[in-house]
Amino acid sequence: MFQKTFSATAVVVALSTPAFADPTVGFGLNFTFGSGGVNTGVGVRVFSDDEEDKAAASIGMDYMFGSQSWRGSVGAAYLMDNTYVELNGGYHFGSGEFDFGLGGGWADTMDGTSSNDEDDMPSDPGDNNQNPV
């Protein structure tokens, strides 16, 4: 039953990805809590937004060192200056167990200020404001 629910959630997230405003990627460490112990892993994340100082949804894949297995996850993250912290729930593909995790690492974020390059460029580079009359 859980595998069907997890698969359905993954499909919904994957189909809604184009609706996200500027997704970005991240790489980091993840600590999972379940099955009576703590497991450490490294992974990759895709976040729903790339703006700093904002919350974003996440979907990811981790390699867990303790269990030597792959783990898919869905979570919520807070993006900062090229870093993130995240709470997630995940499924270990090798053992079939579900657990919760806490992670953090590097993310390609934007600071929210936009520079309009069009204002820096003349509208007609050959014009140079010279009007022959």
Give the mean pLDDT of 104-112: 92
Q: Which pTM was predicted? A: 0.69
> Who has greater pLDDT, 121 or 75?
75
What pLDDT does 117 receive? 47
Provide CB contacts within 8 A for 15, sequence distance 6+: none
Does residue 118 belong to any structural domain of this protein?
A: no
Q: For the chain, what is the domain count?
A: 1
Does residue 96 belong to any structural domain of this protein?
A: yes
pLDDT in tens, 36-71: 889 999 999 999 999 999 999 999 999 999 989 999
Does residue 69 belong to any structural domain of this protein?
A: yes
pLDDT surpassing 60 at residue 20? no
Does residue 72 belong to any structural domain of this protein?
A: yes
pLDDT surpassing 60 at residue 17? no
Distance separating alpha carbons of residues 92 and 71, to the nearest angstrom:
4
Does residue 131 belong to any structural domain of this protein?
A: no
Does residue 16 belong to any structural domain of this protein?
A: no
What pLDDT does 34 receive? 85
Does residue 15 belong to any structural domain of this protein?
A: no
DSSP H or E run through 45: strand 37-47
Q: What is the DSSP letter of 123?
A: S
Does residue 45 belong to any structural domain of this protein?
A: yes
pLDDT surpassing 70 at residue 77? yes
pLDDT surpassing 90 at residue 4? no
Distance separating alpha carbons of residues 39 and 95, to the nearest angstrom:
13
pLDDT surpassing 80 at residue 31? yes
